[in-house]
Structure 1
Amino acid sequence: MILEVVETVSVASGRDNEDRQGAAHELAWVIDGATDVLPEPLTRAPSDAAWLARHMSEVLHQLAADPPHALADLPQIVAERLAPRFAADAHRPPTGPGEHPSAAAIVVRMTGNGALEYVTLGDCVMLVETAGALTRIGIDEETAGDRWVADALRSSTGTGEPLTRHDLLPRLRAQRTMMNAPGGYAIFSITAPPRTMIRRGELPLAEGSRILLATDGLTRLIDVFRRYDTEAFWNAAWSRGLADLASELRALETADAACTRYPRAKISDDATGMLIRVTGSA
């Protein structure tokens, strides 16, 4: 069986899209570059997040014709291929992991035994429907949406003024130093996480099963704006289409541009999704 892409959407929130999506041969993926916490990017790209997302997507396109035996190898392969590129493109070396570019992603493929193999790092989401049951893979609904950010932004600076993302930068920078380190968090970057921290697995699928891959910008409709729960989001995606959901998301973000009703670090976020159907052999 093969993965047939039904629809994709990827809309930028600013001048450059730090998300990427793609499908080639037996692989499909969505990538969400982690917003920079440096004053200026180290590369010549609009942001180091955009740099990593673009180059990682290129690597996946290159690997698609001859992918690794196990998708769990991808974080190491991506790091090995992108580290020298980053060293060549950066105007100075990073001072440590906190300055490394990084990205969340989900990569999937069908195996020869009729299972969907996946690897996921970070806060992207995959929804899979087979035999009438819906399964959520990736960050779960209870912890998605950067709850600590919303909680922090609901507090104040002591002057009555609300906190902003700038106020949260020290904590965000401290968190970045823990990427791919024991006790920290796993993410795609120019270094690889310990293999024990990589989330991977297989799901047996029947022909006709359906899949949705999404970055957390798109799942803001669930996690931040509470417009849908997971099942309603799934149904809306397949009945109305991803482009319509992306338009609805932008309208909600614009209507709360002050980020007061729905506290969040960024007014809007890049939003990417892919609808896939499992079909018979090509």
Structure 2
Amino acid sequence: MHVEKISLPGSGEWNEDALVDNEQLHLFGVLDGATSLHPFRGPNNETGGYLASQVIKQYLESLQAEDVADLDLKQLVVQANIRLREKMEAAGIHTSDKGALWTSSLALIRIEDNYIDYAQVGDCMIVAVYQDGSLRTISRDQVAHIDLESKHIWEQGIENGIVKREDLWELVKPIILQNKSKMNTMAGYSVMSGEPHLAEFIEYGRINRIQLKSLLLVTDGLFPHTERGGEPIDVIQELTTSITNSTLAGYADWLFNLELDDKDCLRYPRFKVSDDKTGIWIQFE
């Protein structure tokens, strides 16, 4: 088994992504933290998004075999979510206020001899590639429908003559703030936020390893961009094919360069010049 891992900062102050690597348990994952609406800084000026992904990472990497003997991945995610809530409460966060919560998406797998267990929250993605070259998207981007409205407003702003990313951001910011109120509700999306009812929105399951060639776990910062006015692309197909034909690091470098050539996010509408990029590419021998 060959494992390639990257976690690269985007254009923000902190890399709010994190990578889970617990080799003893064959437990791997990616996390994408998101900063709370109410400003918060940790003792070293960390954002809430950074702290969220790090709390979850540290919990999952601390686990020993005896800790997980009777627990499935869903239960591990629930326990990590409890740890997140405890850390927020210790920091004085009012956990009843959605706008104050530190949050993170997650994609997590555990590799066994004959099968793979998985759990997913938010927009981190898991893709399986088989010996015949076919792709199977294991997870669902649960945030895509939420982002769609904001991206439409962004594109309308460009069509109306706005040419600076900062001005476009101010245009969509109210919608993005409003969407935070929909965390872990039927009207919104799932996210690790310390809220107990996350447990009802975790997606999880098992696939077998018959003919399984490789697995890809990514945060959304690695998603390829759709060109404004262009034909919609199959994000997972393009992403996985590009990494298969290159490397995880090589693909990320190409994407960074594309983003730097479009700093105002006009050609490829998006909310950040470059988002944090974290991925794990596992190839089975």
Q: Which TM-score tier does this pair reach, normalised by the shorter chain? A: 0.7 to 0.9
Give how far 1:193 is off: 3.2
Aligned positions, number: 272
| Equivalent in the alignment of 2:94 | 93
| Equivalent in the alignment of 1:79 | 81
CA distance in 2, matches of 1:117, 1:258: 40
Candidates 175, 181, 200, aligned match of 2:179: 175
| Equivalent in the alignment of 1:54 | 54
- Deviations along 1:199-229, one digit per CA (max 9) or x if unpaired, are 111111137621011000011x155797875
| Equivalent in the alignment of 1:151 | 152
Q: CA RMSD in A?
A: 2.9
Deviates more, 1:65-74 or 1:150-159: 150-159
1:205 aligns with 2:209: yes
User: Residues 117 and 200 of structure 1 are in contact (CA less than 8 Å); yes or no, is this contact kept in structure 2?
Assistant: yes
Aligned AA for 1:178? Answer: K
Give how far 1:31 is off: 0.4
Distance 1:228 1:222, change over 3 A: farther
User: Residues 33 and 52 of structure 1 are in contact (CA less than 8 Å); yes or no, is this contact kept in structure 2?
Assistant: yes
**Secondary structure class of the residue paired with 1:273:** strand
| Equivalent in the alignment of 2:71 | 69
| Equivalent in the alignment of 2:261 | 255
Question: What TM-score do the two structures reach when normalised by structure 2?
Answer: 0.84
Give how far 1:255 is off: 0.5
Distance 1:180 1:258, change over 3 A: same
Provide structure 2 residue ranges, at least 5 long, that are not aligned to the other structure: none
Candidates 13, 16, 22, aligned match of 2:14: 16
- Deviations along 1:150-209, one digit per CA (max 9) or x if unpaired, are 211112399843652233222222211221234332111212335442211111113762
1:246 aligns with 2:252: yes
- Deviations along 1:71-107, one digit per CA (max 9) or x if unpaired, are 11233211221222222234x5356012211111101
User: Residues 73 and 117 of structure 2 are in contact (CA less than 8 Å); yes or no, is this contact kept in structure 1?
Assistant: yes
User: Residues 9 and 273 of structure 1 are in contact (CA less than 8 Å); yes or no, is this contact kept in structure 2?
Assistant: yes
CA distance in 1, matches of 2:16, 2:273: 15
CA distance in 2, matches of 1:111, 1:101: 32
User: Residues 18 and 50 of structure 1 are in contact (CA less than 8 Å); yes or no, is this contact kept in structure 2?
Assistant: yes
Distance 1:159 1:256, change over 3 A: closer
CA distance in 1, matches of 2:101, 2:31: 16
User: Residues 98 and 179 of structure 1 are in contact (CA less than 8 Å); yes or no, is this contact kept in structure 2?
Assistant: no
CA distance in 2, matches of 1:54, 1:28: 14
Deviates more, 1:251-260 or 1:164-173: 164-173
Distance 1:87 1:223, change over 3 A: farther
**Secondary structure class of the residue paired with 1:189:** coil
**Secondary structure class of the residue paired with 1:217:** helix
- Deviations along 1:210-265, one digit per CA (max 9) or x if unpaired, are 1011000011x155797875334323313311111111111111101011111111
**Secondary structure class of the residue paired with 1:104:** strand
Structure (1 or 2) with the greater helix fraction: 2
**Secondary structure class of the residue paired with 2:89:** helix
| Equivalent in the alignment of 2:221 | 217
CA distance in 2, matches of 1:252, 1:138: 26
User: Residues 97 and 177 of structure 1 are in contact (CA less than 8 Å); yes or no, is this contact kept in structure 2?
Assistant: yes
Provide structure 1 residue ranges, at least 5 long, that are not aligned to the other structure: none
CA distance in 2, matches of 1:59, 1:46: 18
**Secondary structure class of the residue paired with 1:177:** helix
Give how far 1:41 is off: 1.8
Aligned AA for 1:230? Answer: I
Distance 1:58 1:155, change over 3 A: same
Deviates more, 1:65-74 or 1:210-219: 65-74
| Equivalent in the alignment of 2:33 | 33
CA distance in 2, matches of 1:223, 1:105: 23
Give how far 1:142 is off: 11
- Deviations along 1:115-145, one digit per CA (max 9) or x if unpaired, are 2111101111111013423101223599479
CA distance in 1, matches of 2:115, 2:237: 22
User: Residues 222 and 233 of structure 1 are in contact (CA less than 8 Å); yes or no, is this contact kept in structure 2?
Assistant: no
Give how far 1:275 is off: 0.8
**Secondary structure class of the residue paired with 2:280:** strand
Distance 1:149 1:183, change over 3 A: closer
1:230 aligns with 2:236: yes
User: Residues 190 and 202 of structure 2 are in contact (CA less than 8 Å); yes or no, is this contact kept in structure 1?
Assistant: yes
Question: What TM-score do the two structures reach when normalised by structure 1?
Answer: 0.84
Q: Identity of paired residues, percent?
A: 24
